[in-house]
Amino acid sequence: MSVKESLFVLKDRDFGWFFASRFVNLAGSSMSHVALAFAVLEVTHSASALGYVVAAHTVPMVVFLLVGGVIADRFPRRLVLQLSNLASAASQAAAAALIITGQAEIWQLVVLQAINGTTMAMAFPAMQGMVPQLVAKKDLQPANLLLSMSRGTLTILGPSVAAGLVVGVGAGWALAVDALTWLLAAIFLLPVRIPPRPTDAEKTSALEDLRAGWTYVRGTTWLWVVVVAFMVLNAMQSGGLNVLGPAYAKSSSLGVEGWGLANSALAAGMLVMTFVLMRATIRRPLRAGMFGIMAFSLPFFTLALWPETVPFVIAMAVAGAGVEIFSLGWQLAMQENVPEEMLSRAYSYDALGSFVAMPVGQLLYGPLAGWFGAQPVFLASGILYVSVCLVTLAVPSVVRLQRVEQTATEGTSA
């Protein structure tokens, strides 16, 4: 499968507009995490305060994810995604205005990020469930790779541009761009048409839908095992690299610019691996994915043992390649093996389990660094990260899960 062959899926009108919506949104989002982190650090130099703001986004997103999954399986996913994008645009625009005018206070950013997190809880299950409705199963791998390629391309420059804006004119401008892209993303979804669901899908209650989703997830071993693993992995990533990482970088030789460059390297690694995967066929998606994500331990080890810009940038690039392998493997496992009418609820339970411990990591890493020092905390995190991946790979249903749709003559196996 070549790049040209992968681009063929864009000829589908509905997927093409969906792709455009995701593309423009990712252009702004690629800057928002770096911008928000250093915006908070402009208001206060406390890593713990940054943890409060980041957790304020995560907590309501986790709390309302199941509601979002039920809504996305009961109502048109395009409409749910559009309304969520508009609400996100409004909350980010308000945060940008406060930061640009110098009026921002921590409590205001906490409230606005809580609103943004709630809208994301509605958007995430709808967005994940749309791709299988827009393309045939045989086109799922190229469709997902194109979405990953756009993310990788945009996020190579986004963090470095955001860091430049922070140093040059302040963090608020990157958030303002993010707000604009949320608005454009909603507009680009207008031409998308999705086939209506069967009428019998609306006869059950919301509570029955939740119960059915839980029964499915609980009975699917490979699904809940990976979700539990990422409960731990995401807590370490969000606390270690999204909260403690920027604060540590600002006080070390890495600096703001080095941190932005490393985040761009993460995206570059993802992009390079996207092109590699365009010529490969993943036959056991979760086995490949868990081996790939194990590479994300490298940034922790590097910050602990060799906290310099060049080795950290390299570690982040390798980690990005691993993230891309897992991302494709997980999307294929979910989209090919979970029934369409259950897909958004499955994704919402997946996200709930994966994200539920993130606020713990976000709130805990600042105090942990104060008690033990940042570098020992990074080292312990790297060791734990590898251990969780290896335990997950010991589960038979994870390593044995195969593709539903395979083209045996294409590419190489992974």
Q: Minimal CA–CA distance to 283: which of 150, 135, 409, 396?
A: 409
Mean pLDDT across 253-261: 79
CA distance 129 to 71: 12
3-state SS track over the chain: CCHHHHHHHHHCHHHHHHHHHHHHHHHHHHHHHHHHHHHHHHHCCCHHHHHHHHHHHHHHHHHCHHHHHHHHHHCCHHHHHHHHHHHHHHHHHHHHHHHHCCCCCHHHHHHHHHHHHHHHHHHHHHHHHHHHHHCCHHHHHHHHHHHHHHHHHHHHHHHHHHHHHHHHCCCHHHHHHHHHHHHHHHHHCCCCCCCCCCHHHHCCCHHHHHHHHHHHHHCCHHHHHHHHHHHHHHHHHHHHHHHHHHHHHHCCCCHHHHHHHHHHHHHHHHHHHHHHHCCEECCCHHHHHHHHHHHHHHHHHHHHHCCCHHHHHHHHHHHHHHHHHHHHHHHHHHHHHCCHHHHHHHHHHHHHHHHCCHHHHHHHHHHHHHHHCHHHHHHHHHHHHHHHHHHHHCCHHHHHCCCCCCCCCCCEEC
CA distance 53 to 42: 13
Which range, 265-269, 315-319, 360-364, is most confident? 315-319
Torsion of CA 290, 356, 43, 120, to 10 degrees: 90
Two tokens at 95?
């945060």
Selected residue with higher pLDDT from 246 and 385: 385
Q: Minimal CA–CA distance to 17: which of 182, 210, 270, 187?
A: 187
How high is the pLDDT of residue 103? 83
Q: Residue 202 pLDDT more than 60?
A: no
Question: Exposed, middle or buried: residue 248 (CB in 10 Å: 0-12, 13-18, 19+)?
Answer: buried
Q: Taking all residues of the chain, what is their mean pLDDT, rounded to a whole number? A: 82
How high is the pLDDT of residue 326? 93
Q: Residue 31 pLDDT more than 90?
A: no
pLDDT band, very low/low/confident/very high, at 15 (cuts 50, 70, 90): confident
pLDDT band, very low/low/confident/very high, at 4 (cuts 50, 70, 90): low
pLDDT band, very low/low/confident/very high, at 414 (cuts 50, 70, 90): very low
- In tens, the pLDDT along 40-84 reads 777 777 667 777 887 788 788 878 878 888 787 777 788 888 898
pLDDT band, very low/low/confident/very high, at 373 (cuts 50, 70, 90): confident
Q: Residue 196 pLDDT more than 80?
A: no
pLDDT band, very low/low/confident/very high, at 294 (cuts 50, 70, 90): very high
Mean pLDDT across 256-267: 82
How high is the pLDDT of residue 407? 40
How high is the pLDDT of residue 140? 77
Give the residues across from 40 on adjacent strands: none
Selected residue with higher pLDDT from 113 and 158: 113
Q: Residue 384 pLDDT more than 80?
A: yes
Mean pLDDT across 352-369: 82
Two tokens at 9?
């899926």
Q: Residue 29 pLDDT more than 50?
A: yes
Q: Residue 410 pLDDT more than 50?
A: no
Question: Exposed, middle or buried: residue 283 (CB in 10 Å: 0-12, 13-18, 19+)?
Answer: middle
How high is the pLDDT of residue 47? 67
Two tokens at 110?
């906490």
Please list, residue by residue across 313-351, b when 16 or more beta carbons sit within 10 angstroms of its beta carbon and e when fewer do: bbbbbbbbbbbbbbbbbbbbbbbbbbeeebbbbbbbbbb
- In tens, the pLDDT along 151-195 reads 767 766 666 777 776 667 667 777 887 888 889 999 998 888 876
Q: Residue 348 pLDDT more than 90?
A: no
How high is the pLDDT of residue 409? 38
Q: Residue 7 pLDDT more than 70?
A: no
How high is the pLDDT of residue 396? 93
Selected residue with higher pLDDT from 79 and 5: 79
Q: Residue 412 pLDDT more than 50?
A: no
pTM of this prediction?
A: 0.70
How high is the pLDDT of residue 380? 93
> Which residues, other chains included, contact 8 with Cβ-Cβ below 8 Å and sequence gap of 6+?
142
- Tell me what percent of the residues of the chain surpass a pLDDT of 70: 89
Selected residue with higher pLDDT from 67 and 29: 67
Selected residue with higher pLDDT from 250 and 391: 391
- In tens, the pLDDT along 206-249 reads 777 778 888 888 888 999 999 999 999 999 988 888 888 887 88
Q: Residue 263 pLDDT more than 60?
A: yes
CA distance 178 to 406: 38
CA distance 280 to 272: 13
